[in-house]
Structure 1
């Protein structure tokens, strides 16, 4: 995009937005980025911006009350971007930094994950080889005090705790810790450093020749992390692969292309982009894929979006693998990041992307007229129906369609219990986490991870105890609901216990024991498997 085009877009945002307060839509699916670097917006020029500059000067110098002019401009930009489409957003400096750190998989801190249990922070996960790990923290530690600030029993917001823990690389902090019921004799000193968070949630052998890799997001190092994990799995005999993209809301466009490239040994068109101000640009595989042969199944659901859909669309259009699950979200627009001098960013939709056969998978959207009467309503109305507006045929003769996401080759029906209001209420309450951390974190287990994975199942007595726990917290289930949700809640509890004792891989290994998506995928890859 040319420099003057970037400037004009910024001008339009400034002009239109000052007319009314803006809202940042902040959709989970707005994280498709064109590049890691993006563009830098120039200061406003004088060619066609005199009205805006004049208005800003007039407001600043003559308005009746004192104004935060930076805030006025922030609201202006946010308002206009939020009304262009559901995915263009404005991020203020702190939010922009957090957004970038999430996609780049790196931040400056100590590498602890904690849960607020009865107004005390309980360490539930530690990043291996991170600063906290090296300093001697353990899962199960309770954080009482950071330097001279009490954080236990004082109802301190987690955002404030995060600011105390996060900080400049090389700086030190001291944390007072209670371990297994006893206060440690001295605080643990830890030096903040660069912490790297993998974009892969899990990678392991799920059946003798079948590997499973779950990708959380398409970050800066996703393809590199995938290649490393894949090589280890191949050494252990993996010849088929399940790629799990469920709940993966997207990420960098180039990361999706790099990952898809790993599945082809020759040059293939993987995706192309095109917009009103953007000429068509084709993206091809690099013709040296690490997994160019071998069966592939890709898992998607209704929350697989943008970069996930680029990957799944390429695999499907080119007959490289089987898509298993439910229709994906349907976000077919690409955002480019434009940086402002104060560190804030505009993530602006600049093009649509198309699968190799030319499918546009963007769902239809329209401004909600109800929003302008009642601003508690959603700003955008998103069409959730599958349009089937145009059919395409792959070389293998499979029919695929335009509109509203990627439709799977093998459909996994929705579990009505998993989407029930009662189960959602339980999940949103965090009561499962509270129950687990109150009951199962007093001491280390007396068994190995192998024994846990093979033999541990929540006793019926413990499930009954959880039902009583819910009632005591004011959340009541009738007998039918208790029976219907038994397997779901049991899996939730078992996987959390596994994660607390043995880490992230254990969490997914436990969850996947009763996963119908994975059962379907493994049957496709290894017909001898029977659950």
Structure 2
């Protein structure tokens, strides 16, 4: 029970940080403590001394005091958080949009393993790209030491990161290579892009995925809209799914790109007696076109501010699942020793005066993991500019609810990395089918890439061979389950083929959107979003 509780507390702290988003400016710690508080602190220091002198094993002051601060914050709300030195450094990296390291995205090779797989091709110019690292490479050693028993977050990542200009020796196992590859990688500054995908889905329909809100988000959005030729857009899908939030100032900047000048974006209210603060669009949009915003259960905080503002002003239709429901505002207070405190100092309200914060009175575990659905009749009701009913008290409710179907067989195959393994066999020529797949390691011209994109498909014969491969690997499934998941399995295998052939996860991601029900529904609803946008403009005249 003690281990389970420790695990839960750690996860809650991390989840609170990820779903929280940090809104206020960094400010210094508050005024001196009152005399009564100073007297009470004597009890605390006495308890600390007794523990250190008599507990069954030695325990440091740092461990006890940091745990005490975390316990104190847990009596307040789910999003007030304490950051130890390493956590505070990661928070600063997220906010500033950069870190120093190799420039790779990794995951554990298998649950509990310290060995990590590079899951995306390194971006050109990054240290990993310069030494020839590829998607699918497995990092097995760092500085000659096996990392099999290392913890990915506590040991592997900190050893891969480091000051700019320093070097790290890593051993890489590569599919198809008989011997491990030794690499010496010089660390450098790595930008943390918040917009990784921005491209046209169809003629005139743009798609932008915003993963989080950091200091660079609004600039990245401007660049993405420029590449999409915003002036000629017939529609835009803004994907905020799994976006945990971030900077309030960046949420305002992003919403400003789509709203009219001076329209209210969000208001914040703090302690009783303190004036509410309104944030309005400072510049306003340049172009008007139909918009769809995608959200899901993990869209929180700053992403809910943007979605709520666009919904309340009838600027966009919201599609997907009800969002997380986080409307608590945190201010960051730096503490001594490069530690930090994120303290809830207010609540935010959408332009229609909705408070979308979910109830957390039943405990933090239920708040983060259960997420019981609140019926619309039990929720606060407000009106958009055009008179549509919207709801508070439990996240942003989409205008059109679309829940993604669970694909249990696909997840099982993914966990064992079998999509990637089979795709590797196809692209290296180890397995041959009725379509040419063996393009691995070949440099393709622009014309060849265009042709291969059209030809590179998962045929019925290839799918049948993959099914046989799964049986050989003793994956348990029935004929019915395979048939039900067939289209998703075909698409998932195609994603891996595109990743390996074009050495770009962008192309594989575009393939994934072909079967993304929420994206496809968004495309279908663009004509209705057009009517909504036209009515919104008419009201502003």
Same structural fold, with TM-score higher than 0.5 when normalized by the shorter chain? yes
Q: What does 1:315-330 correspond to in 2, within 5 Å? A: 315-330=310-325
Structure 1 residues 342 and 466, CA, compared in 2 at 3 Å: closer, same or farther?
farther
3-state SS of 1:39 partner:
coil
Deviation for aligned residue 1:220: 1.6
Q: In structure 1, what is the Cα distance between the partners aligned to 2:186 and 2:418?
A: 34
Cα displacement string for residues 357-376 of structure 1 (whole angstroms, at most 9, x for unaligned residues): 1011112222349x8xxxxx
**Which residue in 1 is equivalent to 2:198?**
203
**Which residue in 2 is equivalent to 1:398?**
388
Is the 1:96–1:345 Cα contact (8 Å) retained in structure 2? yes
Aligned-pair Cα RMSD in Å? 3.4
**Which residue in 2 is equivalent to 1:79?**
71
Unaligned 5+ segments in structure 1 are 1-19, 372-376
Is the 2:144–2:169 Cα contact (8 Å) retained in structure 1? no
Deviation for aligned residue 1:121: 5.0
Pairs aligned (count): 495
Q: In structure 1, what is the Cα distance between the partners aligned to 2:106 and 2:150?
A: 14
Q: In structure 1, what is the Cα distance between the partners aligned to 2:31 and 2:459?
A: 64
Q: In structure 2, what is the Cα distance between the partners aligned to 1:99 and 1:419?
A: 32
Structure 1 residues 481 and 43, CA, compared in 2 at 3 Å: closer, same or farther?
farther
Is the 1:366–1:381 Cα contact (8 Å) retained in structure 2? no
Is the 1:208–1:237 Cα contact (8 Å) retained in structure 2? no
**Which residue in 1 is equivalent to 2:507?**
506
**Which residue in 2 is equivalent to 1:444?**
441
Structure 1 residues 29 and 386, CA, compared in 2 at 3 Å: closer, same or farther?
farther
**Which residue in 2 is equivalent to 1:285?**
281
Is the 2:218–2:254 Cα contact (8 Å) retained in structure 1? yes
Structure 1 residues 438 and 279, CA, compared in 2 at 3 Å: closer, same or farther?
farther
**Which residue in 2 is equivalent to 1:385?**
374
Deviation for aligned residue 1:39: 2.6
Is the 1:244–1:300 Cα contact (8 Å) retained in structure 2? yes
**Which residue in 2 is equivalent to 1:254?**
249
Cα displacement string for residues 96-134 of structure 1 (whole angstroms, at most 9, x for unaligned residues): 222332343211112123455588655442133222223
3-state SS of 2:105 partner:
strand
Is the 1:366–1:380 Cα contact (8 Å) retained in structure 2? no
**Which residue in 1 is equivalent to 2:454?**
454
3-state SS of 1:49 partner:
helix
Q: In structure 2, what is the Cα distance between the partners aligned to 1:125 and 1:242?
A: 25
Cα displacement string for residues 290-329 of structure 1 (whole angstroms, at most 9, x for unaligned residues): 4x41111111122211111110110011111211222222
Cα displacement string for residues 315-358 of structure 1 (whole angstroms, at most 9, x for unaligned residues): 01111121122222222222222222122222222211111010
3-state SS of 2:283 partner:
coil
Is the 1:449–1:502 Cα contact (8 Å) retained in structure 2? no
**Which residue in 1 is equivalent to 2:9?**
23
Q: In structure 1, what is the Cα distance between the partners aligned to 2:424 and 2:296?
A: 29
Is the 2:140–2:172 Cα contact (8 Å) retained in structure 1? yes
Is the 2:266–2:279 Cα contact (8 Å) retained in structure 1? yes
1:158 to 149, 152, 155: 152
Q: In structure 1, what is the Cα distance between the partners aligned to 2:109 and 2:468?
A: 19
Q: In structure 1, what is the Cα distance between the partners aligned to 2:95 and 2:32?
A: 29
Unaligned 5+ segments in structure 2 are 430-439, 529-541
Structure 1 residues 37 and 399, CA, compared in 2 at 3 Å: closer, same or farther?
closer
**Which residue in 1 is equivalent to 2:162?**
167
Superposition TM-score, scaled by structure 1 size: 0.82
User: Quick check: 1:127 aligned with 2:157?
Assistant: no
**Which residue in 2 is equivalent to 1:14?**
none
User: Quick check: 1:362 aligned with 2:349?
Assistant: no
Structure 1 residues 84 and 139, CA, compared in 2 at 3 Å: closer, same or farther?
same
Q: In structure 1, what is the Cα distance between the partners aligned to 2:149 and 2:270?
A: 49
1:50 to 34, 38, 45: 38
Deviation for aligned residue 1:431: 5.0
Is the 1:364–1:382 Cα contact (8 Å) retained in structure 2? no
**Which residue in 2 is equivalent to 1:331?**
326
Structure 1 residues 30 and 156, CA, compared in 2 at 3 Å: closer, same or farther?
closer
Deviation for aligned residue 1:234: 0.7
Q: In structure 1, what is the Cα distance between the partners aligned to 2:151 and 2:324?
A: 33
1:92 to 60, 80, 84: 84
Q: In structure 1, what is the Cα distance between the partners aligned to 2:367 and 2:323?
A: 21
